[in-house]
């Protein structure tokens, strides 16, 4: 009787999944079937918005992962929820950005922290539902394991209960983005030409394998894996972006190049040769300028497609400091000299600036660029109000007519100047703009800079100017709190 009840319950769970509509192998959930679908199952759920670019980029990889797991007859399911339609579900599961992905396992909810490819998704799920390191008992099993992924790590331990093996398994448990194996079999060690106690990273690029040759510690092994798991030269894509910018190496040398150019392969090979000399210090990345999705990053560096091939180096640890080579050539010597020049402090940071428009001061709202900013904003004879804007920013567009009225109001005043600067094409060494629009008052006599935090109305901006930056000023503590909130919100939006 008991066995029949268990069988009936299992059939019910399976039939529930069968009754739910699938889209390319992915279960489509809504408020009516969500709870029954996730109850007692291992199921990954993507909360998405149909208009979200990141969601659209993820969709084919997400479907591929779902189909692959079905082919393997896995008990893991992939599902999705249109959070713009199923607002109650989105609110219940704290969806604040897109895509938000959560793993439901035995009644518990785990935030998804893996990558964006089908392989990344499957690897993360198997790590969460299986042992941290897969036991490889035969040569065939080990070879299949190595062939199955772009990067794998195998620990060779005669005694899998040893302190060293435990340390290895702890690292494997912590690193969701990688596949770990473990073996005690002497024939496997012989076939793969390794000694007992070795840890080897096998990869399908560059030198093919790296052996861990340090004293075994968790931190040491984690760094070894991170440093050796990326190719010497990485292509920037949706799939690799997280690994590039989320890694420990914060200096990146970027080669902007067209993959359709006849010398693409030779240029990248030259780039790769130099990359070897800076391994673990500078990450070498190439960006295909033919991709429409890369227009924003090119804009960030002030580049146009016809300037490729060209390089830029960025230091993420120093407020996104950018560097530009003195030459447009990309020979081995040019690449090497550029990177060394930045690391040795011989090359100054590169700040974007448009040319000064001939009519920059003809309208009531003056137009500032990087080249004339300091001369105008730090004029001690005037209170200078500056709006830092982005052409694509909706809030900036809403502010524009109000700001023009403000300019008209003060156009006859010699002691007050209203100005604006496109902060996407102009940069300042002393001022970093984190959000748009940002409004600052540069006070006369002292050059003190005061941030505006009041209402974006003509009345509010007028009071701010007339009070000398007192009425509507942002307190420093508030600014810091706001920045933390922005960072937290961005982390949630970029959680995939």
- Among 396, 418, 419, 496, the one annotated catalytic: 396
Q: Which CA distances in Å does 345 have to 4, 252, 321, 415?
A: 75, 15, 12, 41
11 is catalytic: no
Angle between helices 118-129 and 53-71 (to 10 degrees): 60
Query: Phi and psi dihedrals of 252, rounded to 5?
Result: -125, 125
- Among 13, 16, 28, 52, the one annotated catalytic: 52
Q: Which two tokens stand for residue 32?
A: 């009516």
Lay out the sheet containing 251-257: strands in order across: 233-235, 283-288, 251-257, 310-315, 321-323
Contact between 183 and 144 under an 8 Å Cβ cutoff? The reply is: no
393 is catalytic: yes
219: nearest Cα among 149, 171, 185, 291: 171
Q: Which long-range contacts (CB under 8 A, 24 or more apart) does 349-358 make?
A: 349/321, 349/322, 349/323, 349/429, 350/312, 350/322, 350/323, 350/324, 351/322, 351/427, 351/428, 351/429, 352/301, 352/302, 352/425, 352/426, 352/427, 353/425, 353/426, 353/427, 354/422, 354/425, 354/426
CA dist 384 and 491 (Å) reads: 35
Contact between 220 and 228 under an 8 Å Cβ cutoff? The reply is: no
Contact between 57 and 92 under an 8 Å Cβ cutoff? The reply is: no
- What DSSP assignment string belongs to 376-406? HHT-TTSEEEEEEE-TT-HHHHHHHHHHHHH
Q: Among all chains, which residue has been given the structure tokens 């959000």? A: 435
Q: How does 440-470 read in b/e, with b if 16+ C-beta sit within 10 Å?
A: bbbebeeeebbbbeeebeeeebbebbeebbe
Contact between 422 and 436 under an 8 Å Cβ cutoff? The reply is: no
- Among 29, 55, 101, 285, the one annotated catalytic: 55
CA dist 250 and 244 (Å) reads: 9
CA dist 22 and 160 (Å) reads: 42
- What DSSP assignment string belongs to 225-241? HHHHSS-SEEE--TTTH
Query: Phi and psi dihedrals of 65, rounded to 5?
Result: -65, -45
- Among 393, 433, 473, 474, the one annotated catalytic: 393
CA dist 426 and 34 (Å) reads: 48
Cα first-last separation, the chain: 46
Contact between 386 and 422 under an 8 Å Cβ cutoff? The reply is: no
- Residues annotated as catalytic are 52, 55, 393, 396
């Amino acid at each position: 009787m008991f066995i029949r009840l268990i069988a009936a319950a299992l059939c019910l769970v399976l039939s529930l999944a069968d009754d739910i509509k699938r889209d390319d192998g992915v279960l489509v959930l809504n408020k009516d079937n969500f709870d029954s679908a996730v109850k007692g199952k291992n199921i990954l759920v993507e909360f998405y918005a149909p208009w979200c670019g990141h969601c659209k980029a993820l969709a084919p990889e997400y479907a591929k992962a779902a189909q692959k797991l079905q082919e393997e007859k896995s008990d893991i399911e992939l599902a999705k929820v249109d959070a713009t339609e199923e607002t109650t579900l989105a609110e219940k599961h704290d969806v604040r950005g897109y895509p938000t992905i959560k793993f439901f396992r035995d009644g518990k909810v785990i935030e998804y922290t893996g990558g964006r490819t089908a392989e990344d998704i499957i690897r993360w799920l198997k790590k969460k539902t299986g042992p941290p390191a897969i036991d490889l008992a035969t040569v065939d099993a080990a070879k299949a394991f190595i062939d199955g992924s772009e990067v794998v790590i195998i620990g060779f331990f005669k005694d899998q209960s040893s302190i060293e093996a435990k340390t290895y398994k702890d690292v494997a448990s912590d690193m969701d983005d990688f596949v770990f194996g473990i073996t005690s079999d002497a024939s496997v060690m012989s076939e793969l030409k390794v000694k007992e106690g070795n840890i080897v990273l096998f990869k399908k690029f560059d030198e093919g394998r790296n052996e861990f040759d340090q004293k075994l510690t968790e931190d040491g092994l984690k760094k070894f894996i991170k440093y050796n798991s990326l190719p010497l030269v990485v292509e920037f894509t949706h799939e690799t972006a997280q690994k590039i910018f989320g890694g420990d190496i914060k200096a990146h040398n970027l080669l902007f190049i067209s993959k359709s150019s006849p010398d693409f392969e030779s240029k990248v090979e030259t780039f790769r040769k130099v990359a070897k000399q800076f391994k673990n210090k500078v990450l070498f990345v190439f960006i295909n300028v033919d991709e429409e999705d890369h227009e924003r990053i090119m804009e960030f560096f002030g580049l146009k497609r016809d300037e490729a091939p060209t390089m830029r180096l960025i230091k993420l640890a120093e407020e996104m400091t950018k560097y530009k080579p003195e030459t447009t050539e990309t020979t081995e010597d040019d690449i090497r000299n550029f990177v060394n020049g930045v690391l040795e402090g011989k090359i100054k940071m590169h700040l974007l600036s448009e040319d000064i428009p001939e009519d920059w001061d003809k309208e009531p709202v003056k137009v500032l660029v990087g080249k004339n900013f300091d001369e105008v904003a730090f004029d001690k004879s005037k209170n200078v109000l500056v709006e830092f804007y982005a052409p694509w920013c909706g809030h900036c567009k809403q502010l524009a007519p109000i700001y023009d009225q403000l300019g008209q109001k003060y156009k006859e005043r010699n002691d007050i100047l209203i100005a604006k600067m496109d902060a996407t094409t102009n940069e300042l060494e002393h001022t970093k703009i984190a959000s748009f629009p940002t409004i600052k008052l540069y006070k006369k006599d002292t050059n003190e800079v005061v941030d505006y935090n009041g209402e974006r109305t003509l009345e509010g901006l007028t009071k701010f100017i007339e009070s000398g930056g007192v009425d509507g000023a942002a307190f420093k503590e508030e600014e810091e709190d706001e920045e933390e909130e922005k960072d937290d919100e961005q982390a949630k939006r970029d959680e995939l």
